[in-house]
Structures are given as C-alpha cells and as structure tokens.
Chains A and B, each alone.
Chain A
C-alpha cells in the first residue's frame, strides 16, 4: 500500500505507441542534456516477467499479463539507488529486433537512437535458448547490458540448473538471477545496473569491432565486408549508432532502419531534402555525402550477391547465425535439463485444449466467474447502497442546516452525489469479484489457451486468433481491449479487432445486464435463480461473440478486404499464481482505476442530468420533452423514449444508463434510492416495461455506440476519425436492426395470439 502511494508520484508518464517517437526523443534529450538521471531500458521476450521486474524496481503497479505481447505501451517509472535517480523505460516485449512488427521497431529504435545508459535484458530461466536470441541482438547494439535471468524459482521447480557465471563469462556482461515476483535478486540487479552505468562510455564506443572479437561472428564473407565497411560507417555516423550493427543493416537493406536513420539525421541537421524517395532513399541519406562509404557499400553488396548472398539470403543467414549462437550458448550454460520438465504443462494442456473438454471447460470457467460475480455481489451491493444513502440523508440535513437554497441541494446531493453513489454501489462489488477471478485465469497462463481453442473461428471470420484475447480484455473494459489490439501484427486484422471490440459487453454494461436478467428473465430467487441468471448472461456473451465474428467477417469482406495475416501464438508455461498479489493488483489497478474514471464521469453527468430533469420547458422537464420526442422511435425498437435518452446521456459511461433511466421515470429529478432490486422492478413495471422491453434494452446495451473513453481511445490508436465513425455507427446500426426485428416479430406473433 505504501509503495503504491509513492509510485503514483514517481510515475513519469505512460506513452502510447503513437507517441513513441516523441517519447524516444524525450529519452534521447534526457541523455544528451546530461541531467543526472540514468536512463535504463528494460527489454525482454513476452512472458519473462519483465513487467514484474519493472514493477518491483519502480514500485509502479503496472499491470502484467501472462500472454504474449501484453506490454505494448512504453511505461516509464523511476527509482533511486544509493542516492542516484534512475529512469526505467519498459520496452515492448519482443522475441527479436529484426523489425517484424511495430513492437520490435519501437524497442529497436529506442535502443538505437535514444541510447539508454544501461539496457537490462530479462530472460526466462526456463526457456533460455529462445530468450538468448534477443539478448544477442541487443548486445550487438550496445555492450552496456545487464542480463537478468528471471523466474529462477520456476526453473528450480522444474529442476533445471543453469550456470549463470558461465553465461556472464560468455556474454561479457553482468548476469543476475532473480525471482522478481518474490522480490529476490533485485538489489543485486540495481547494483549491477549502477556498475554498468558507471563504466566509461568510451569503452563501449569502440567495443564490438574495436576491442577484439565480437560475440556473434557471421560467415567469413560477411565478416570481410564488415572489416571494410565498419570504419567507414563509424567515420560517417560517429558514435550515434553502433557501427558494426549499422553496417549489417546497410548490407541487408533493412528498410525500417534506413527510414529511421533518415528521420533521425534530418532532425539532427537540416539535411538535403532533394534526394529521391526510392527504396535507396535511406541509403542515400546515410551515404549520400560520403561517396567512399557509398561505393564501398555497393561493391560489398555485389560481392556478396556474387557469392549467392543477396539481401534476402543475407537476412536468412544473419537470423540463422544468431539462433545457432543462442543454441550453443544455451548448451554450455544449461547444466541440467530434465527430460520431462514440461510434463506438467502438457498434462494440463491435454485437458484444457482437448477436443472434448477444451471448449466446454472454457465456457464453464467463464460461466463460473460470472455466476460467482452475480451471487457474490448481491449482499455487499445492498450494504454499500444502504451506507451511501444513509450518508446522503446526513448531507441533505447538512445543506438544510446551513440554509443552502433548494436548487443547490438538489443539484449537488440529488444530482451529483446520488449518481455517484449509484455507480459506486452497483459497480464496486461486481468488479471487486470479477477482476481478481479474471486476473487469476490470466496469471495462470490460461488466456492464450483460449486464443488457441478459438482460433479457427476467428480464421473463418478472416480475423486473428489473438482477437479472442482482446475480446477477453474487452469484457473488463472496451477501452483497454482497444489498446490490447496492438498485440495483433497485421494492420488489417488489428483494425477489425479494434472496431469490433465494443461488441463484447464491458464491465460497465454487465451490472445492467445482470439487473435486467434478474428482474425480467429469472423467476426464482436464491441459488437456482442465480444459476439461471448466469445462463442468461452467458447466452448474451455467446451472442455477442457470434455478432463480433459476423461483423469481423463482414468488415474483412467489405471495407477491409484482404487475406488473414500470418499467425503465431505462444502457449507459455503455466505459472503458479500469487494470490495475494492478484487481489491487491486487480483491486487497486483495475477496480479502483475503472471506478475512479466512472466517478469522474458520473459526477458532472449527474449535475447535467439533474438539470435536464428539473429545468422546465412549458409543462414538462427538458428530459421528459426529449423522451417524448424519441418515444415513437423507442417504441419501434421495443423500448421507449426514456430508455433511448438514457443511452444518449449515458455516453460518458455505460454504468449510468440505469441511474438516468430511474431519474427520468421517477420524474422531477428525485432519484429513486437503489436500495433493492424489487424497488427497481416496481418502478420499471410502473412504466410499462415487459419482458420484450427488457430483452430489447439488453440487446441495445450489447449493441450500441461505444462509451466516450473507448471512442477517444480508438481515435488515439487509429489516428483517424473515419474509424471512430465506423466504430460508432456499426454497433448502433446492428442494435437498431436487432431490436427492430425482434420487437416487430414479437408483436406480430402476439397479434397471432401467442
């Protein structure tokens, strides 16, 4: 608790990918201004516990997930060690730096151009060989590296033994073994960072090629070219970029690097702009002013090509050499690996991803979570409501005692306070139950299995299996789900996932779905009623998934036509979840985060809504007037004008749709106290609600425009108003069509005597 308080003030900022260049430049300037902060980059494969290391070092409670590519934002945090301030930059988790994806590009550009003082590479002790590939690539860029071998406890549990001293000797940099989740080894890590940061930087400038043999040696023919090119590249680029690494990228015609270098050069000096923008544009930028380098580059490229090593073969050869080197290092470092160390994971996977049990188990897990949420939330919700409305009476009495005017008391107590109290009472208990349970599945490593089980459905919808993960995230919060879409490599599939994320109901919509289910669709009370409620909610979820798939297919065949991108999905080892940490993290990070945002939105919205409900226009309030105007449309869709108004006014947050509705129905701005579900039942019935109204409202709840926060997030992610508009219209049109068809056919059948 104490560390969280501290960390809030320590948090520098959280940058989105779209702001990546800005943040990188900020990093670069921070370095160049010579301020006394030491910039440390944190790199590593996904699923190595990199984010845990980050949290433990900075005290920042940033969420960590056990699925590939979760951390895609650049998170910044800081800590102090021996009186010296350090800024820690959490790079996206990547397997490589050969720039296959946005994440790899972000990580690579930061290492290359922002040039952190130290780079910490986090490796998974249970999967060393695979992780070493990235470490080797980073060591090619900078020698100022600390290798952090994390998850030593998992390795010990699997009886894997490693020789870290040998690893340090081979790599030539400090190696620290850690169990970040238990906080073990972190002091040693900080000390190693301090030492590497203190090393003279001149030492590393002439490293790689200067002081003896480089760690990774390529084919003799390539090395000969490098011998000639590296001094020329160094002469041209100076100490801005590691010369050997840059020469390799020039030889293999790495476009991403050339572009970045061109941008970087242009920013640093007003470079010549009259150069052509052909593929060699970047090369021109590099070598344009230096014909010696240019000539040498061309000569060496053709020499390699003559030996059957064109740019493509060269890329293959470089990647292969790195993998072989990682393999040979792993063989030397791994003292003992039991034959069957993955037995445990395989046994679990044999069940949870089996043909027979895979999908039923998944439905059971998710259904179980929702059932526990529904049953568990009832009592605390009532208790909370009672407490908050007891406080409201006291507040009203206070206003009266001070002699405040009636409108002020109405606006602040009945408008603002009541709306906030409603949101808190309704949202807090379900979230406090739902998020820890969901986080538990996440921590176990179960969620990637969901993507594995369901991928074929997504493939048929021309979407990416990872969309199953972004949808899971969307069940918590659609804005978070939209951000999570960055884990999908291909732009087309990412857009599909972004636009359709809103089709799964977020945590703000569940309370309404649950309340309406309990009131109109479930007859019995108690545990049996709760089971039925869970079944209905599950039906709603399955429906939302099918709609998502259908809309994804539609999108990919119309405005986003194209073939599915390449698909790779890692199924990481199962991890023992840390229950205490899950509860603290999910309550503090997710529950309170979402709740705080909802309260921020609900408070002013409460005032506005109170004004609408109380300001009279002729005989009626403005709210009633608008509702009357919308009533015919509402009726067509199986709802009424007040319900539609509630959806419109609820655009700041879906949580407040029901409170607005209650305010509207009860009239004159006096909001009904949500003390019981039966009072809500009576009020809705009074206003002519039937089962059809409830079903249509639930359907419209599932399919309507995203909340303000989500729309804003989509704008940030896609950088385009067009996609925001599509994301707004698509679900709204779907909802209108669905409600219209259902309402009209039920009425028609009703006429037929059903």
Chain B
C-alpha cells in the first residue's frame, strides 16, 4: 500500500489496471457530466480499473456493480484518489 496524501488526485485514465480509485471530482460538463452522474460516478464512489481493450482504448471499470467501458478522453475528466 502506497501512502497517498488526500490531495494527490489523478485522472481516472491514469489509474493503473487492477487498482481502485475514489471519485473526487468531475470536470466534464453538460450531457457527458449528466451521463457520468447517472452511471453513479458521484463523490466518494469507488471505481476499479478492470482491463484495457486489446486495441488500447477504452478501459473497463467496475462502477457500482456494473462493468462500464470509458474512453481515455472521458476518463480524463474524472478525478480520483488512489485507494
């Protein structure tokens, strides 16, 4: 377990596969922000990076019991804290 200060947020696309992150902020706007909220990506939701597509992108994440694939541009708009 690495120790992270609570201020060191990374964007979700940089979360290593197999690691978990806790959602801290969304930088997305409008529709794409709505869609993320509907997926359950609200504050303090724990997300796990499951696997990368064979073609490199998207990455599949475990979000509230569902497996959702997000493209890197989308995931970059989600800030998480390493768990």
Residues of A within 8 A of B (CB): 95-96, 98, 100, 126-130, 133, 315-316, 319-320, 323-324, 326-327, 342, 345-346, 349-350, 353-356, 358-359, 452-457, 459, 465, 489, 564, 566-572
* Chain A residues, Cβ within 8 Å of B65: 126-130
In the assembly, what is the distance between CA of A129 and CA of B55, in Å? 31
- The residue on A at minimum CB distance from B67 is A571
Cβ contacts A to B, 10 pairs, < 8 Å:
A130-B65, A316-B33, A353-B60, A359-B54, A455-B53, A465-B69, A566-B32, A567-B69, A569-B68, A570-B69
Q: Verify A455–B71 contact, CB threshold 8 A.
A: yes
* Chain B residues, Cβ within 8 Å of A327: 64
Which of B33, B51, B64 lies in contact with A130, CB distance below 8 A?
A: B64
Which of A127, A349, A459 lies in contact with B60, CB distance below 8 A?
A: A349
* Chain B residues, Cβ within 8 Å of A346: 50
* Chain A residues, Cβ within 8 Å of B56: 456
Using A567-B70, A567-B71, A568-B68 as known contacts, list a sample of 20 further A-B pairs with CB atoms less than 8 Å apart, ordered by residue number in A: A98-B34, A100-B38, A129-B40, A130-B40, A130-B64, A133-B40, A320-B42, A323-B37, A323-B40, A327-B64, A342-B67, A346-B50, A353-B53, A353-B54, A355-B52, A452-B69, A455-B58, A567-B74, A570-B68, A571-B69
User: In the complex, what's the smallest C-beta–C-beta distance from A458 to chain B, in angstroms?
Assistant: 9
User: In the complex, what's the smallest C-beta–C-beta distance from A572 to chain B, in angstroms?
Assistant: 8
Q: Render B33-45 as a binary contact track against A, CB cut-off 8 A, 1 for contact.
A: 1110111101100
Which of A354, A568, A571 lies in contact with B54, CB distance below 8 A?
A: A354
Q: Verify A100–B66 contact, CB threshold 8 A.
A: no
Q: Verify A452–B53 contact, CB threshold 8 A.
A: yes
At the interface, is chain B mostly helix, strand, loop or mixed?
mixed
User: In the complex, what's the smallest C-beta–C-beta distance from B45 to chain A, in angstroms?
Assistant: 8
Instruction: Give the number of residues in B that approach A within 8 Å (Cβ atoms).
Output: 33
Given known pairs A353-B51, A455-B55, A456-B56, the reply for A566 and B42 (CB within 8 Å) is: no
* Chain B residues, Cβ within 8 Å of A453: 53-55
In the assembly, what is the distance between CA of A346 and CA of B32, in Å? 27
Given known pairs A319-B42, A353-B53, A568-B69, the reply for A452 and B35 (CB within 8 Å) is: no
* Chain B residues, Cβ within 8 Å of A96: 34, 38
* Chain B residues, Cβ within 8 Å of A459: 57, 71
Does B4 sit at the interface, judged by CB under 8 A? no
* Chain B residues, Cβ within 8 Å of A324: 42
In the assembly, what is the distance between CA of A253 and CA of B50, in Å? 37
* Chain A residues, Cβ within 8 Å of B69: 452, 455, 465, 567-571
In the assembly, what is the distance between CA of A342 and CA of B48, in Å? 13
Does B31 sit at the interface, judged by CB under 8 A? yes
Q: Would you list the 6 A-B pairs with minimal beta carbon distance, nearest first?
A: A456-B55, A358-B54, A319-B37, A566-B32, A96-B38, A571-B67
